[in-house]
Amino acid sequence: MNFKRIVVKVGSSTLSNQNGKLNFSQIDALSRQLVDLKNQGREIILVSSGAIAAGMGELGYANKPASIPEQQACAAVGQGLLVGIYNKFFREYGAKSAQILITSSDLENRNRYLNAFNTLKTLIDHGVIPVINENDTVVTNEIKVGDNDTLAARVSGLVEADLLVNLSDVSGLYNGNPNAENKNLKLISKVENITEEIEKMAGGRGSKVGTGGMETKIEAAKIAVNSGVVMIIGPGKEKNSLLKIVEMAENEKFDLGTTFLTAKERLSKRKQWLNFNLPPLGKIIVDQGAADALLKRGKSLLPGGIVEVEGEFNSGDPVTISDGTLEIGKGIVNYSSDEIEKIKGAHSNEIKKILGYFNKTEVIHRDNMVIGGDKDEY
């Protein structure tokens, strides 16, 4: 396998000490390895946490402050410091870098999503290593859950990366939380399917500076593998671990960390955006016939198969599709929740009579839909 385009995510716990002071040897070693990978002819994007941790030291906090505004203040102070340090090391090793601050809601907006792609692609074409972090000043949820893991996965789908390496303070995913003083834990070296059993293994954060723990890394792995990107969780602090991980992955070995394999083909960029970046605003529940048509026969959703509508949404909004028990997909609707309430169960040629006007035959067209079990879409 050839991994040309690689996204590397590094956690706060790898870049800083428990007291919030930055670990310069670690940042130096990471920068050197990133430039080595670039000099091997690869395209590299770094998603780096560590702004809050860097700011903690600067503003005199020994522990992560409890309030979100204080954490945001730390991030604002720390982000500049962090990027300055990366810049220094990258320049020393002969590479250029750029700062990109981005939030999940930026990626929900189709134009911003495509703008982010265009900027990243142009930077890569110039041989620059983009350094991405969440724009912590304007978000609160991401700070609470440590969304850089999922942000890195979304970015890896956005740029159509071949590999996402998530460097952490653990060697990979264990069959239990090492934080909970579990003994005799086993490292899972390869995950072919992210089953419920795998999800249950993941617990919360392990250090005073990390956020989200293994839970957010498993969520990230789901996004990555469904976007056609292999993801590896590996030890950030082990000497030359990043170089070793990339070499190992190219040789299809599984000696270091945990590798999440891609089971399916990459979703198209538009379907990735719909599936992983757009939060649903409502739910449409369909009958068994419609569920079968969507799951097995690649059909669009017509009003006749709809039994229930939940939430309030407009035409053009994203919704989930459920068979009443399980979520079977996601799509963008051609009718509002009020309109669907009126036309549900009806034949498409009755829409005009019921509403007094006609928009589209389908409530959700196949092109605007991602269905979980539908192999040809992955």
CA-to-CA distance for 9 and 167, rounded, in angstroms? 6
Binding of ligand ADP by 17 (CB under 6 A): no
The three-state (H, E, C) secondary structure of 59-120, written as one string: HCCCCCCCCHHHHHHHHHHHHHHHHHHHHHHHHHCCCEEEEEEECHHHHHCHHHHHHHHHHH
Instruction: Assess 234 for contact with ligand ADP (CB under 6 A).
Output: no
332-371 burial, b for 16+ CB within 10 Å, e for fewer?
Answer: bbbbbbebbeebbebebeebeeeeeeeeeebbbeeebbbb
Question: Is 215 within any annotated ligand binding site?
Answer: yes
50 belongs to the binding site for ligand VHF (CB under 6 A): yes
Identify residues 206-225 at the interface with ligand VHF (CB under 6 A).
210-212
Residue 370 binds: one of ligand VHF, ligand ADP, none (C-beta under 5 to 8 A by kind): none
By CB under 6 A, which span of 81-89, 170-178, 189-197, 284-292 interacts with ligand ADP? 170-178
CB atoms inside a 10 Å sphere around CB 262: 17
Q: Does 224 bind ligand ADP (CB under 6 A)?
A: no
Residues 193-222 touching ligand ADP, rule: CB under 6 A, are 201-207, 210-214
Residue whose CB is less far from ligand ADP, 140 or 314: 140
Quick note: the x/- pattern for ligand VHF over 120-139, rule CB under 6 A, is -------------xx-x---
51 belongs to the binding site for ligand VHF (CB under 6 A): yes
Using CA atoms, how far apart are residues 285 and 25, in angstroms rounded to an integer?
A: 54
Query: Which does residue 170 bind out of ligand VHF, ligand ADP, none, counting CB within 5 to 8 angstroms by kind?
Result: ligand ADP
Q: Which of 23, 31, 148, 259 binds ligand VHF (CB under 6 A)?
A: 148
Residue 177 binds to ligand ADP (criterion: CB under 6 A): yes
Least Cα distance to 135 among 209, 216, 76 occurs for: 76
- Residue among 49 and 320 whose Cβ is closer to ligand VHF: 49
- Pick what 282 binds: ligand VHF, ligand ADP, none; C-beta below 5 to 8 Å, kind-dependent: none
Q: Specify burial of residue 289 (Cβ count, 10 A radius: 0-12, 13-18, 19+).
A: exposed
Q: By CB under 6 A, tell whether 52 contacts ligand VHF.
A: yes
Does the annotation list 341 as a binding residue?
no
List the one residue out of 299, 156, 291 whose CA is nearest residue 232.
156
The residues near 104 (Cβ < 8 Å, ≥ 6 apart) are: 139, 141, 142, 147, 150, 151, 154, 277
Helix (H) or strand (E) holding 133: strand 128-134
Per the annotation, binding residues for substrate are 49, 136, 148
Per the annotation, binding residues are 9, 49, 136, 148, 168-169, 211-217
Can you give the binding site for ligand VHF, defined by CB under 6 A?
Answer: 11-13, 49-53, 75, 133-134, 136, 146-148, 210-212
Per the annotation, binding residues for ATP are 9, 168-169, 211-217
